[in-house]
Amino acid sequence: MSDPQSSLLQSWHHNARSWIEAVRSGAIESRRQVTDQAILLAIQGRQPERVLDLGCGEGWLLRALADRGIEAVGVDGDATLVDAARAAGSSRLHVASYEALAESRVNIGKDYDLICANFALLHQDIIPLLAAINALLAPGGALLIQTLHPWTAAAGDYQDGWREETFDGFKGQWHSMPWYFRTLSSWLRALDMAGFRLVELQEPQHPQSPLPQSLLMVAEPTPPCRSELARDGR
């Protein structure tokens, strides 16, 4: 697979309209049964006033949060998805690549109580992005990640590496999509290197399946060590 990072972005551009239809028609059973509700409950459990939806897609989470009285801002790298979110009623939206966010080349606001990445971290080098959004959190803020559960998604190959989603069983015209599989320890290592510490981990399950449908992690910025406090005169 040549240049999977670029192919990942291109697949989203091609699949955007099919993705919008799949989400809005309820075609993805795991979302209907488990994962949409799981992230909403996790967000509400933190009682945020202001949320950034990182990789907001067509905006379903933005609309759900607005219905609950939570100020929600969305950012996504695909203009078609952002246009769909805007047409559906969301107004606080930005089009920006993860590379631009990681390099702080765009202003998407700051002082967020919660930043959510709901099945939105599919590329390999996530540490620069996580480090950049760490700086956008308000004091006491947190990062919420929901992703494929490594145990369920491993398919017998439990090691970091690029995989391919072919969208078999989905209606519409789809291009295959590369995505980067990472083990649980790899997720935790990335969070640590980006200045976060894990404070909660959930494994949402389908009511009729013994396998977890997702991995849901809540992380908070790592407190400065005593030497840093002393250096800053605190």
The pLDDT tens digits for 26-36 are 999 889 999 99
- In the structure, what pLDDT confidence band is assigned to residue 118 with cuts at 50, 70 and 90? very high
Q: What is the mean pLDDT of residues 103-132?
A: 97
When mean pLDDT is compared across 27-31, 124-128, 149-153, 180-184, the lowest value belongs to: 27-31
4-231, CATH topology level:
Rossmann fold (3.40.50)
Residue 144: how many CA atoms within 13 Å on its side-chain side? 22
Q: pLDDT at position 228, please? A: 57
How far the first Cα of the chain sits from its last, in Å, is: 51
Quick one: average pLDDT of 116-141?
97
Residue 55 vs residues 116, 208, 209: alpha-carbon distances, Å:
9, 29, 28
For residue 174, what are the contacts with CB-CB under 8 A and spacing of at least 6?
14, 15, 18, 166, 167
pLDDT, residue 38, reads: 97
- Mean pLDDT calculated for residue range 42-63: 97
Please state the rounded mean pLDDT for residues 120-125.
Answer: 96
Q: Is the pTM of this model over 0.75?
A: yes
* Biggest distance spanned by C-alpha atoms of the chain: 60
